Structure 1
Amino acid sequence: MEKITKWRIPLLIGLGIVQGLIIIGLVFSNQKSAQTENTDEWFLEMQSESESIFQEPEEQEPVFWVVDVKGAVTNPGIYEVAKNMRVQNAIDLAGGLLQNAETRHINFAQHVTDQMLLYIPVVGEEIVDIPYTQPNSPVEEGTSKININTATDLELQALPGIGEKKALQIINYRTENGSFSTIEELMEVSGIGQKTFDTLKESITVTK
């Protein structure tokens, strides 16, 4: 009995040492894994910060456009307008129309553009220039074609087969549906069929 007890004591001590080594190994392994994860996270965070520092800032579009309002308005001048404003809004900023303003050829629903010149004539005034123009002329450089996406009613009336009524219908369609994608889309406008289109297709373009 005494021999058995002497033999078991070293065995238990050995097993205890082995268990202790296993536990120490597991703890060390977990600590090393945690350190590795922390190192990886730190590296990724530093890399992200470096990229954000050296990344070129995006060029922001201007929030406002500038419009020059002249003629028969209460306060002619240069005004800042929001990008979604229309001719009527620009006129309101200028104090509204005078009583003798001539408005027959003004499309109040037209969207304004940056650097737009908006001229309101008076009744009986001989209109030599276009009442309101945009920086991009509706007549393309190097050609005689009219851009039906930017042309005024007077410019549209210069096209063969287009009178005042059809010109206003084109502008109304453009206001409600946006710019024309193709010249063939012009036939979607009420009163413009294949025959009318054939007479003016060589004179128009849809550059946006």
Structure 2
Amino acid sequence: MSRFVLSPRAALLLVGVVAVLALAVVLAGWQSGGGGDGTAEPGVAVVTGAPEAVAASPTASGSASRSPAAAPPPPTPAVLYVVGAVEHAGVVTVAADARVADALAAAGGATADADLSRVNLARPVVDGERLYVPRVGETDVPAELPAGGGAGTGGSSSGSAGSPGSGAGAVPVPEVVDLNTADATALESLPGIGPALAERILAWRDEHGGFRSVEDLLEVSGIGEGRFAELQDRVRV
């Protein structure tokens, strides 16, 4: 019999040692291959590292870099020149989407003798336009100047009537009316003066013993600064 033949006890001991070594190899391989190097099994997501690394991931940084859209600038207000039968004629500023009614309100509202039936109160305003509000009985102005200014209808009309060589002759100089001697007919020849306002002027003259200055017209009901500006060169005392 060979001398290398192990006894049953030695053989069992050798088998035990080999089993222990094999188990140790298996455990070491599992720890280095699947438990600690961050390698994930197929279909399993594994997150490693500190929380700061997660916050710096492409998805997180992309979301953080998105800024809200800038708010659109507010619309530019509209500026109009309102004249005629309004309480405070002059330049007014209204919202960009305002209507003619809003522009009249900004000018203090229409006067008592304003002929609003000739004005489209619902029309949107146009920045830079001249808005004229006619008075009752007034016929020497257009019903409403076109949106955007008054260089169209009014300019062409006056040019054809008074241009040199047109055959119409020179434009006549308006007559200046004396406030203390004029009757209702003479007063109604003034721009913007209708029968009702002429009667108020005569009543004021009788009540106060006459006009002492042209500026006294401002004390007559229905004559505001805008209307007075149109009359002051056409009257005297």
Structure 1 length-normalised TM: 0.50
Structure 2 length-normalised TM: 0.44
Which protein has greater RCO, CA pairs closer than 8 Å, 6+ apart? 2
Larger helix proportion of the pair? 1
